[in-house]
Amino acid sequence: MKIFCIGRNYVAHAEELKNEVPKEPVVFMKPKNALLLNNNPFYYPDFTIDLHFECELVLRICKNGKQIREKYASRYYDHIGVGIDFTARDLQASLKEAGLPWEKAKSFDHSAVVGTMIPISPDLDLGHVSFSLKRNGETVQSGNSADMIFSFDQLLTHISRYFTVNIGDLVFTGTPAGVGRVQIGDRLEGFLGDEQVFDFEIR
């Protein structure tokens, strides 16, 4: 089981972090032990003092594939949800400055929160899927798949050029603007449209 993650897939988020807008998808990966499921609490790690939430739409792969053509890509995922890509921003910055890989800042244990996955129905317009994140009852991020630089199908086509995708793999599709810090005691709630799909605490 693999977790593919896409960076800088919303123009406003790339700009807020002072990054260039990419010309092709930026892909990184998280290991299976990065998953945090079932609304379990997240324990703030001791290697960062600047932990950020990044709320994202998540796809679940339903079919094995490699070198997938874009016109067939939608056949390879059948559930959609909302997740959080936790980032140790201070650690990421120091690793980037040293020219080093930044898995330690992105791929640590429980850094990939995934809420309830919803089956993709024929009437769901995947080009206009809204999602949001609340922190302590206040909406801090909201996004829509219409604003993604690269669509779901384009992402899967690109990923499968380099990696075989397998049933059960997850694709975090990028975060919109509005990322920010969390602290111990925060409550985070994720929504797909108006439906709550996760609700957990930072401890």
Question: Computed over its alpha carbons, how large is the radius of gyration of the chain?
Answer: 16
How far is CA 65 from its chain centroid? 21
| Spatial separation of the C-alpha atoms in residues 111 and 45, rounded to whole Å | 10
Per-residue pLDDT reduced to its tens digit, 82-117: 999 999 999 999 999 999 999 999 999 999 999 999
Backbone angles phi, psi at 130, to 5 degrees: -95, 150
- State the residue range of the domain holding 96: 3-201
Report the candidate in 97, 95, 112 with the shortest Cα–Cα distance to residue 55. Answer: 112
CATH number of the domain that 140 lies in?
3.90.850.10
Provide the terminal-to-terminal Cα distance of the chain, rounded to the nearest Å: 27
The number of distinct structural domains making up the chain is: 1
State mean pLDDT over 125-146. 97
Per-residue pLDDT reduced to its tens digit, 173-189: 999 989 999 999 999 99
Predicted confidence band of residue 163 (pLDDT cuts 50, 70, 90): very high
Token pair for 122 = 């024929």
- The pLDDT value recorded for residue 18 is 61
